Amino acid sequence: MTQAQHFEFLIVGAGISGIGAAITLRRMGITDFAILEKSDSFGGTWRDNSYPGCACDVPSGLYSYSFAPNPEWTRLFAGQEEIRRYIDRTAAEHGIEAHVRFGTEMARAQWDEPRRRWIVETSAGTFTANSVVAAAGPWNEPLTPDVPGLDTFEGEVFHSSRWNHAYDLTGKRVAVVGTGASAVQFVPAIQPEVERLHLYQRTAQWVLPKPDHYVPRIERWAMRRIPGAHRALRSVEYAIMEALGVGFRNPWILRIVQQIGRAQLRAQVRDPELRKALTPDYTLGCKRLLLSNTYYPALTEPNVEVHANAVAAVRGNTVVGADGSEREVDAIIFGTGFHILDMPIGSKVFDGGGRSLDDHWKGSPQAYLGTTVAGFPNAYVLLGPALGTGHTSAFMILEAQLEYMAQAIAAARAGGWTRMETRPEVQAAFNADVQQALATTVYNAGGCQSYFLDVNGRNSFNWPWSTDRMRTRLGEFDERAYETSTDLPTEMATR
């Protein structure tokens, strides 16, 4: 039997979270770690999502690591290819590739209590580690609805995050299922190419104008040459997004802001029936905020038909709407999002007694400060439950967590802890506070059903306060929130 390779830390995932975790460890002088990545390259979400028109909906200056500024963004809202180049370059500049095991997918991870370590089974064999960092993120596994008869469809079927670039859409009849962030971007990109586009919209979305523009060379020169210019830009973008965040905690403000969306809809969609179908019946911000200048115009083109209902079934090459309408198509593209709260990792990570995260969560993911989970010692979850916001950058959330993780690791090393686990009562109290504060936010009180709500109807996704408050809470590690131990692992204690 081959002995499992052991590391002090194992990181699962080589997207922005995994790369950030690796850089944090290296900055602490820790090099005994490995990153397990199921694909053959860096990038995570920005590797998998390569659909036409794919771009960020957060300003580029804010959608980057604070310690790795990029003065070369060519647009205010960067596109997928540019973001992926930035991710690859950042990983290379910090020497991360040497730590990555590409083509290695985690199948199961279980805490071994007597040995004080994690046993991690992968497609490339078994590893062990003192600590694990789950960095797969919530936008990892595509969600495809279980449509009756889909398996009988004779045409092309794919999810937006698994775009089939080998399939030529030119002159094809295409059904697009879903109207979320991805569809709002790829529908305008493919509309001119296809013969007919059928958009199946279960719920109308608020779409605001996107203040995007090309960044002139003189501005990029200033970002490179003028000390503090990039930091100043990032601060301005942060302040604007935080001002918008006030509305998420005070829905009446967003009801005023949504008039901008109404104005854009009136200006770009002249047909009163189509405009009515595209008008949401809930408060802006209850679902993910969408930005586009081209989505509504694309829907008014003569080769587009909007079906204001879900897909009920597929019969041969015919898509059947919930209203009974039938349309024959050559391809079906799902823009239906991801397993945000029923994360696949939940069924793969087990405590010392063999109970999975899913067993603990029972459909409602919980963690302490979105980062550590009671029952799972020496483990960190990045971009975890109750940390999502509707207004700020994932990088802001991630870096707050990485600061917390660094402080926890430093405390464990200083104290000689072999085991650190969140106290259940501390986690419960934190999540009770979150749920109480969420009640009056637009996420819960906006009048919609969104992916923020789990199968139990509980909002397990959102942070109900400001980003400043998040950074403050995560900026101070309190060991009293944890049960710690300095006991040696069994195999060492018996030597």
Mean pLDDT score, 10-37: 98
Please give the pLDDT value at position 346. 93
Q: Is the pLDDT of residue 343 over 90?
A: no
Confidence of residue 342 (pLDDT cuts 50, 70, 90): confident
Confidence of residue 340 (pLDDT cuts 50, 70, 90): confident
Please give the pLDDT value at position 341. 86
Angle at 436 between CA 430 and CA 439, to 5 degrees: 140
Please give the pLDDT value at position 491. 62
Mean pLDDT score, 445-468: 95
Give per-residue pLDDT as tens, 197-211: 999 999 999 999 999
Please give the pLDDT value at position 1. 44
Alpha-carbon gap, residue 378 to 398, rounded angstroms: 18
- What is each CA distance from 439 to 249, 313, 360, in whole angstroms? 10, 36, 24
Give per-residue pLDDT as tens, 294-316: 999 999 999 999 999 999 999 99
- Three-state DSSP state, 311: strand
Please give the pLDDT value at position 40. 95
The backbone torsions φ and ψ at residue 130, rounded to the nearest 5 degrees and listed phi first, read -70, -35
> What is the percent of the chain with per-residue pLDDT over 70, rounded to a whole number?
99
Q: Is the pLDDT of residue 319 over 50?
A: yes
Please give the pLDDT value at position 495. 38
Place of tokens 């013969």: 195
Q: Is the pLDDT of residue 489 over 90?
A: no
**338 or 176, greater pLDDT:** 176
205 closest CA partner among 272, 303, 270, 285: 285
Q: How many CB atoms lie within 10 A of CB 14?
A: 31
Q: Is the pLDDT of residue 435 over 70?
A: yes
219 closest CA partner among 421, 74, 386, 393: 74
Please give the pLDDT value at position 137. 81
Q: Is the pLDDT of residue 186 over 70?
A: yes
Q: How many CB atoms lie within 10 A of CB 307?
A: 21
Mean pLDDT score, 180-191: 97
Q: Is the pLDDT of residue 283 over 60?
A: yes
Q: Is the pLDDT of residue 111 over 60?
A: yes
Give per-residue pLDDT as tens, 364-380: 999 999 999 999 999 99
**Widest CA span of the chain, in angstroms?**
80
Alpha-carbon gap, residue 55 to 78, rounded angstroms: 6
Determine what percent of the chain falls in helix, strand and coil, rounding each to the nearest 5. 35, 20, 45
- β-pairing verdict for 349-350 and 5-12: unpaired
Please give the pLDDT value at position 2. 59
Give per-residue pLDDT as tens, 344-359: 899 999 999 999 999 9
Contact 215, 85 (CB under 8 A): no
Confidence of residue 219 (pLDDT cuts 50, 70, 90): very high
Name 107's Cβ contacts closer than 8 Å, sequence gap at least 6: 121, 122, 123, 348
Look up residue 91 and give its amino acid: A
Confidence of residue 140 (pLDDT cuts 50, 70, 90): confident
Confidence of residue 493 (pLDDT cuts 50, 70, 90): very low
Q: Is the pLDDT of residue 254 over 50?
A: yes
Q: What is the DSSP string of 434-494?
A: HHHHHTTSHHHHSS---TTB-TTS-B-SB--S-HHHHHHHHTS--GGGEEEE-PPPHHHHT
Name 341's Cβ contacts closer than 8 Å, sequence gap at least 6: 138, 364, 365, 385, 451, 454, 455, 460, 461
Confidence of residue 492 (pLDDT cuts 50, 70, 90): low
Confidence of residue 34 (pLDDT cuts 50, 70, 90): very high
Mean pLDDT score, 167-196: 97
Q: Identify the burial level of 52 via C-beta atoms within 10 angstroms of its C-beta, where 0-12 means exposed, 13-18 middle and 19 or more buried.
A: middle
Give per-residue pLDDT as tens, 63-101: 999 999 999 999 999 999 999 999 999 999 999 999 999
